[in-house]
Amino acid sequence: MGSIGEDIKSTLEEVGGAYTIIRDAGNISGEYCDYDLTSQATKPLTIEAFRRAMVSYDSETVVGDVIEFDTTAERYMVMNKLPEIFENDVIQYESIFYLCNISSGELLRPSGETWGVDYHKETEWEVIKNNCDAMQVAALYGNSLEDDEDLAMIGLAKNEVLLPSSVGAQVLDRF
């Protein structure tokens, strides 16, 4: 590795923020990054929840990790990790972090059916992961009702939950 990557890593340790990679197999600490706040003032969610970050060339983060900043204890999901190359060497990575606004979620998976006391089939649920970090946001599309509907207006809201890939969510799971 060239000296540019080492110089950037050293600078991040001096002026960046320390974070810990949260993993079931054991946390990894001692990494630093420099992140920027988003400047889209018309979109509060973007300002509050998304960070564009620079991490060192040898960062152990992988897409889908959850990281926690040592100073603020805020948790973010690593959404991408794009290499910046100079003279045929990776000198740093540019990443996007999404704020985990849920830290106590529970991921459930259907494990069978039983007959309830009212003779209706009920789905049995198996816990896949407790205290799961996630980001819940209103769905970008399909989240509004038409004003000219002839039927009664029903308050419906469609939300999306983004989970770290390490959780292993599958189709039909419930969060």
Domain assignments of the chain as residue spans, ordered by start = 3-99, 102-167
| CA–CA dist 152, 147 (Å, integer) | 10
The residue ranges of the chain whose pLDDT is under 50 are none
Residue 156 pLDDT? 62
Residue 28 pLDDT? 96
Please give the model's pTM, rounded to 2 decimal places: 0.81
Residue 77 pLDDT? 95
| CA–CA dist 159, 161 (Å, integer) | 7
Tens of pLDDT, residue by residue over 53-102, are: 999 999 999 999 999 999 999 999 999 999 999 999 999 999 999 999 98
**DSSP label of 140:** S
Q: CATH second-level architecture of 3-99?
A: Beta Barrel (2.40)
**DSSP label of 118:** T
